[in-house]
Amino acid sequence: MAKHVPPYPPEFRTEAIRLARTSGKSHRQIADDLGMTSETLRLWLKQADLDEGKRSDGLATDEQEELRRLRRENRILREEREILKKSLCRVATSPRTKMASLPSREGAGAPPPEARVRPE
């Protein structure tokens, strides 16, 4: 099982990308020199290309952040909806609020709707 490694600082990432693009060394050698895996460097380069518009086979960083935010918002709204549905079910099945126990308009002494007189 892989051990969790804290993320690299943004400055380190920027410098690694610059080195990979400008030096004549291979990506594997740069990654070894920096103490990281070549796969990490490859992913950073891919993401940098997406952010700069050089690639279109993925989401840019700001698009990923927006997607993450929208998914979180969607999850919260679903949870709130479920809470409201459960609350409504409890209120509807409560003995004090059952519709059958409420008097009807006609049974409460009110005249039927067609017999009501409208003031002019």
Residues 54 and 11 in one domain: yes
Domain holding 13, by residue range, is: 7-58
12 and 50 co-located in one domain: yes
Q: Is residue 115 in some structural domain?
A: no
Instruction: Quote the CA–CA distance of 55 and 50 in Å, as a whole number.
Output: 5
Query: In angstroms, what CA-CA distances link 2 with 7, 39, 43, 65?
Result: 14, 14, 18, 25
What is the distance, to the nearest Å, from the Cα of residue 13 to the centroid of all Cα atoms in its chain?
26
Of residues 119 and 17, the one with the higher pLDDT is 17
Query: For the chain, how many structural domains are there in total?
Result: 2
Query: Does 36 lie in the same domain as 67?
Result: no
pLDDT tens column, 22-38: 998 999 999 999 999 99
H runs (alpha helix) in the chain: 10-22, 27-34, 38-52, 61-93
pTM of the predicted structure, to 2 decimals = 0.55
In a domain, 71, yes or no: yes
Percent of the chain with pLDDT over 90: 57
Report whether pLDDT(3) > 80: no
The average pLDDT across 83-111 equals 69
CA distance 45 to 61: 13
User: Does the residue 97 lie in any domain?
Assistant: no
- Considering only CA atoms, which of 75, 45, 51, 73 is closest in space to residue 63? 51
User: Do 43 and 70 share a domain, yes or no?
Assistant: no
Q: Given a cut of 70, is residue 40 above it in pLDDT? A: yes
User: Tokens 């979180």 label which residue?
Assistant: 72
The yes-or-no verdict on residue 96 having pLDDT over 80 is no
Contact 58, 50 (CB under 8 A): yes
